[in-house]
Structure 1
């Protein structure tokens, strides 16, 4: 019944409501490091950083930010969110994260994905028509080198032949690799067959709509004989915290609408956000976790119980908020939300053990 509770971030650089100006990319990266260091001091389990190649997000090389964070933290687990495999060499990915593992042994994870945004395909010379094939082939290559020091890899459609070459540096244990998905059935099945942990991006609608997908993931894993105890199931959702619930809801609307409206100009399946839609999203059955510590903690507990999650990442924030407000939100999350959620599940575990003992 335990749950790992983390934070995810893209290092957003959208205009602030207070000034109408965006934080510079270099300042946002420095702020992000401070946020990770604070999360580490507050015993938050993990911090995951996304990869983008566009003006409204500062982090295009999460592995460099994670390496800097690794040298300044003591216990927090550090992950990408995601590493966009279709547009990068899997050999470079392994080398980079093995190097970070040398700085923070056992605290590094690769969260592999296709990338929600597609600007990297043109930027690095890849064809968007090969979106899925690129990911599948490169993931298989990454998994193989993660297990084997000497790589033998036949020339693929998108990857070069590697004839008995060592990939270095090596980690003492294989690097944990998870797969991020927006809720694709095909991705769910494939990840379960590979025996990999999965991370669902739950950013719209009712989170409980993911229940059939998670059941499918477990069913497929069991069918092919994979060990579900080694396959954490995670969710990543947008969120915001303030001591005053109504202030949190009010303050988070501007940046959320700003990003959603921007994405809606790029994706025909998205629509601009109204205040009524926003209130529904931050409400009891919505996918955005906004409010005071009690509201957010109770919502995490509900979603964890209904979906059977073993990990939860609060994306904090999705578009720019003042750095001091982000630090405040992290403090509330680490000092109030995380302890409350973990205490709830510790107590429930003890109750379940007592019931089992009494029954036997």
Structure 2
């Protein structure tokens, strides 16, 4: 490795708590996300992604609006999503919104498309869960045609047909697009077939077990232009390992248990967290040196081009996240480059 891996940050705009334990308003959480993007830009990180959700524990339901606000206050960082739930949206409108974001940001927009691990948007926008697979397949196929920025003729079962339809505004050079994948070989093949980068959401277990998906993606791309592979995983950076773990654990437990009550999971334990932050876990929490070494090990094991740290988790405070961003940009990123150059 030559140390050229790109490092970014992702957030879902979690509703956080202040140091006194009181929860911030959704409006404040959104303003905090914009401030976090500004700091990520200032410390030289490559990308900042904002996820789409439609539930009370996450503030951001319209990532493009938040990213446009960030675009006005940043200069270099790429601005994208983590993810856009294409299945419950209209591909034409999605493309127009991101083409607009690309203009506002002077060519810094990107998008990660996914089916969504949460289902609130489906009934909210009038879609049936029984159409979960068909919705994504058809809409991704249409979005792929829209990326050509040429008139589109398309027909399917999930929306009205298009006949020689043109979409505006046009971009200067298009924008990068990824498909977020949680572990399905079919999704890997789909991303390769439609010319999307592959973004692996690794939130549990050993990251090394995803190597077959990376290999599958590159086999599917054989003889065609190379496309990037990235990883999105949760974590938190503080000055020491012990500080990072003590700050992160309550927030991880709160979020896991909130979602777990809906999905029938057992309570989140400290033993689960400790395994996650260990060498075979998917939580990148600790001191800058610990996090850098774990990221470098993942880059080597998977041969990826980008690593995005999901730095927001549950009730973790804005102040702690800002320190995490500062350390990630000023100490983790250069150390990862050093470690990869050494190997």
Question: TM-score, normalized by length of structure 2?
Answer: 0.96
Q: How does 1:70-89 map to 2 (within 5 A)?
A: 70-89=71-90
Q: Determine the structure 2 residue equivalent to 1:235.
A: 231
Residues 145-194 of structure 1 deviation map (CA, whole Å, 9 limit, x = unaligned): 1103322223x100211222221000011221110011111101211222
Q: Determine the structure 2 residue equivalent to 1:354.
A: none
Q: In structure 2, how many angstroms separate the alpha carbons of the residues matched to 1:285 and 1:100?
A: 38
Q: Determine the structure 2 residue equivalent to 1:226.
A: 224
Q: Determine the structure 2 residue equivalent to 1:96.
A: 97
Q: Secondary structure in 1 aligned to 2:200? A: strand
Give the C-alpha shift of residue 325 in structure 1: 1.2
Q: Determine the structure 1 residue equivalent to 2:242.
A: 246
Aligned length in residues: 341
Give the C-alpha shift of residue 34 in structure 1: 0.6
Question: Which range is displaced more, 165-174 or 73-82?
Answer: 165-174
Q: Determine the structure 2 residue equivalent to 1:198.
A: 198
Residues 182-208 of structure 1 deviation map (CA, whole Å, 9 limit, x = unaligned): 111110121122231110110101111
Is 2:288 the partner of 1:290? no
Give the C-alpha shift of residue 346 in structure 1: 4.0
More helix per residue: 1
Q: How does 1:17-32 map to 2 (within 5 A)?
A: 18-32=19-33
Q: How does 1:1-360 map to 2 (within 5 A)?
A: 1=1, 2-14=4-16, 18-154=19-155, 156-222=156-222, 225-228=223-226, 231-268=227-264, 270-348=265-343
Residues 280-321 of structure 1 deviation map (CA, whole Å, 9 limit, x = unaligned): 111121100000000000000000000001000000122122
Q: In structure 2, how many angstroms separate the alpha carbons of the residues matched to 1:307 and 1:182?
A: 15
Kept in 1, the 8 Å contact 2:16–2:29? The answer is no
Q: Secondary structure in 1 aligned to 2:35? A: helix
Q: Secondary structure in 2 aligned to 1:337? A: helix
Give the C-alpha shift of residue 15 in structure 1: 5.0
Residues 255-301 of structure 1 deviation map (CA, whole Å, 9 limit, x = unaligned): 10111111212224x43211111101111211000000000000000
Question: Which range is displaced more, 189-198 or 77-86?
Answer: 189-198
Give the C-alpha shift of residue 347 in structure 1: 4.9
Q: In structure 2, how many angstroms separate the alpha carbons of the residues matched to 1:161 and 1:184?
A: 29
5+ residue gaps, structure 2, are none
Q: In structure 2, how many angstroms separate the alpha carbons of the residues matched to 1:335 and 1:63?
A: 27
Q: In structure 2, how many angstroms separate the alpha carbons of the residues matched to 1:14 and 1:293?
A: 23
Q: In structure 2, how many angstroms separate the alpha carbons of the residues matched to 1:190 and 1:170?
A: 25
Kept in 2, the 8 Å contact 1:42–1:331? The answer is yes
Q: In structure 1, how many angstroms separate the alpha carbons of the residues matched to 2:266 and 2:183?
A: 19
Rg larger for: 1
Q: In structure 2, how many angstroms separate the alpha carbons of the residues matched to 1:184 and 1:165?
A: 33
Kept in 1, the 8 Å contact 2:141–2:194? The answer is no
Runs of 4+ in structure 1 deviating by more than 6 angstroms, as ranges, are none
Q: In structure 1, how many angstroms separate the alpha carbons of the residues matched to 2:342 and 2:168?
A: 44
